[in-house]
A and B are shown apart, each in its own frame.
Chain A
């Protein structure tokens, strides 16, 4: 497909990675974004890169340590994570997860309180212990998104920002063009990676993609002294110490939303910042004096089983749809590779992604959201 033209709808981390992978294969790539690359959930998440539940896990793990070099731009990727248990229940759960990793040959070490404090000096003696994943890691979402965009441009790809996609042109069972308010972009293939806007866009092609959007929140502190290991999770919050030293953390209850074709109307944070602050102060008691300096929210979509949808349609047969179902950042090196394979070869070369096919939702009832309570507050 070298020399063919692929239009990518959505300049989030998934679309940009896909575009970068395609450009590496000689494809002429145009990424269309409604605003600025990475502006939605791709630039607002915790930066984790340790998704062992995914079929893309091995590829995620293989690629992250190489990404700075492959992209040519720094991502702030750091290896390893620690889960700190703050209750007896969490201690049981985390050791259960550790056993599971051991069974699957993922290197982990169970740490006692003293070992936790050595790796995470901001932790206290109020914890039960921890589990050190000697795999996975974390990176800076905002820097990484821009790195994909720039790397894509360096390979000749185009990024068209401030250009919401309004529709498609089709002919002969294929999408032949992608329309914005000002232009139509001719194409040989299309990748729709538009996050919460996927259902509205795909409906224009007569394809039903069941996704529900929700808002989630994070807080960040002023810098703390650098810890030996920055990827610290546990106590039902996720996050990381940035390379600058800030503690960026999220977690907790989400709010289901309706998102129309133009994207989230707003991304308001709420007093949930206080509940995040409580848990972070408990998880890292020696950081309790640090100032919180910002909070923010992002809107992410989930599929009915919470797993990604990465699929090439049968009709129109030159369309790949990709939603990472609220877990897209860390997996992006691998999801982009999988999408590239589907666009060019029609099948994923490095792992079986049948689990991620859209057809698994064929029997889904129309009112699945209402039935299970994934609905906005009336």
Chain B
């Protein structure tokens, strides 16, 4: 056939996308103190402002440690979304002020992706943020967006960490302060920097039994005044230690054993080693980011129209090297964890299989693949978490890597004897929260989208069977299966 023809590609994306349902001068993601302040400031300047916050999230999501590392220690109260909503308003009086200032507020609403034209995409009608609640998803346009998504918990594996009762400090603080819905009684806190000290004191204030703090380094790491309060409260800190073993039952963790043999009974281990600025949205939109060890890891590097405020912009800089501290914990973890310790809980990837770059256990392991390892992979180039994720499945599960991506990156740095900053950040992908197909679906998509929809490019000659070329079947094939591209 003549390949020189004039036409339009009816299967191209051009002009098929829906416009956003609404548009605001300013959209703020995250209704913590920084987000609320940004929203109020925007409204005061006369801007139309939408403030969204994913909390309260569903019990199912909390059960998947999303967005924080709840460790299954929520009470049944978290199943009642009305009660949770009320708790949020009670704990955040400024929300009322924001609404009075004219801010439109949507709670229980997740921002799962930010999209705009740039390298590799020019087909978006305008820049949008994808939102979803328990019923549906939709797109909202904006002139400016402020990300106030906070910080999430860092998890670090120890023997038996993959059982209920092992959780993060941000999750514990949220359950205690906001919801009053923490089900544990006796806590061991990992860490002795400010986060650990503050979490331990908060737990104590709430009448909980803080059994001990465990510090991997030989000296306390946190603020002296906080340390004094810990001492005054009679809470012991075990220095130069990590968890060497743990015991548990149906309800989860029951006791831990430190490297020096000390046994401590507890129903909760709160990992308070560090917080990770929540940069999922920035990274998924290919926004610039930079590693900043004193501000908690990778943080947004700033660009026009996309601002980050609060903890997602970085932890307060006190000069403390969070990355070096976490690396010390991971080094200790690599020393004590048995090869069969699960590192990726969703995909059940063990430490041995992660470092061995072995496939999941539903695949065969012929001799050739058993001979492969991180060592052989490093002969081909520096470690890349996305490549290792593809091969081992670590970080590929329903928690979207929240529990393992950070520790895996640190393990790869240590095992390949490279500084942490040389290991690329495993990519974040939209939707940055798990979203059911039926919620994510654009059920009322424009007719233009369906009209342009083909299973592939809609090039008729691409799929005409080679035996049929030049026969009567060729035309029948084209007529039956294609409409338009070559017209």
Binding site for B on A (CB under 8 A): 36-37, 43, 52-55, 57, 68, 72-74, 76, 92-93, 96-97, 100, 104, 142-143, 146, 149-151, 154, 159, 161-162, 214-216, 219, 221-223, 233, 236-238, 243-244, 251-257, 264-275, 277-281, 287-297, 299, 302, 304-307, 325-327, 355, 361, 363-365, 368, 371-374, 376-378
Contact = CB atoms under 8 A, between A and B. Distances in A.
B12 A255 contact: yes
Contacts of B372: 150
B470 to A, nearest CB: 11
A251 B453 contact: yes
Contacts of A267: 120
B113 A291 contact: no
Given A244-B347, A291-B436, A36 B123 contact: no
A273 B5 contact: no
A320 B447 CA distance: 44
Contact of B461 (A161, A221, A306): A306
Interface residues of B, number: 88
Interface string B117-134: 011111110001010000
A146 B391 contact: yes
Contacts of B359: 74, 143
A54 B437 contact: no
Given A36-B387, A268-B286, A364-B3, A274 B459 contact: no
30 contacts: A37-B380, A72-B367, A73-B366, A215-B121, A243-B363, A252-B452, A253-B454, A254-B457, A255-B13, A257-B120, A266-B118, A268-B118, A271-B130, A275-B453, A293-B431, A295-B429, A295-B431, A299-B120, A302-B457, A306-B462, A307-B462, A326-B456, A326-B462, A363-B3, A363-B4, A364-B4, A365-B4, A373-B7, A373-B8, A376-B122
A291 B1 CA distance: 45
Contact of A274 (B3, B5, B360, B441): B441
Contacts, number: 266
B9 A372 contact: yes
B203 to A, nearest CB: 32
A222 B469 CA distance: 41
B465 A104 contact: yes
A236 B390 CA distance: 27
B438 interface: yes
A284 to B, nearest CB: 8
Contacts of B121: 215, 255, 266, 268, 270
| Most chain A beta carbons < 10 A, residue from B368, B462, B476 | B462
Contact of A92 (B380, B465, B480): B480
A53 B461 CA distance: 9
B9 A292 contact: no
| Most chain B beta carbons < 10 A, residue from A73, A142, A254 | A254
Contacts of B460: 306
Contacts of A151: 368
A197 to B, nearest CB: 15
Contacts of B387: 36
Interface in B253-270: none
A278 B441 contact: yes
A355 B7 contact: no
Contacts of B435: 291-292
Nearest to B3: A304
| Most chain A beta carbons < 10 A, residue from B128, B397, B431 | B431
Nearest to A145: B390
